[in-house]
Amino acid sequence: MLAGEMKEKKPYKVHVIVDPVFGQRLREIQVGEPVWIADTEVNRPAYETLGPERNPGNYMEGLSSFKVGRNTSPEDWLVCEIETIDLHHGEMSHNPPWSVINVIGAKWSPRIEDELSRFGFEQHEDTAEGFVAWKGSANQAVHAIGASAPQHDG
């Protein structure tokens, strides 16, 4: 294949929703991209309704929920879940491994930066509802930011 014929691979993005009241907005996330959502009173009904519709029998493209502590923050939920997400979408489980994370419900912090750097995430950009982080080159950033979750003014 000639260099001009090479197609750039789309980054493998995982959405992580730690917004405890995201709920039915889950419908706004692009079908075909994996979503991990905090299991809260508001999010659970949306997950239960949309799960059968969006889970093609393959968690790599569908919805997953995770338990969260009542007395902990969305930042805590995210930091605690990253290793599990990497187990499912990282180098040992997926080819290509995840290279973009779109987080809704937590803002970038030194603690989050430290945790994500353990898994190779080097760069980030804040969004209205959280942030997008990615591994590797700035070329991936264009795809990562351009394909982030929908923005809401409130």
Domains of the chain as residue ranges with CATH: 11-146 (3.40.50)
The pLDDT assigned to 114 comes to 97
The percent of residues above 70 in pLDDT, for the chain, comes to 79
Phi, psi of 37 (to 5 degrees): -130, 140
Distance, CA of 79 to CA of 82 (rounded, Å): 6
The amino acid at 38 = A
Using 50, 70 and 90 to split pLDDT, how confident is the model at 1?
Answer: very low
Q: Given this model, what pLDDT does residue 11 score? A: 85
Per-residue CA distances from 51 to 27, 43, 66 (Å):
10, 11, 13
- Over residues 110-132, the pLDDT tens digits come to 999 999 999 999 999 999 999 99
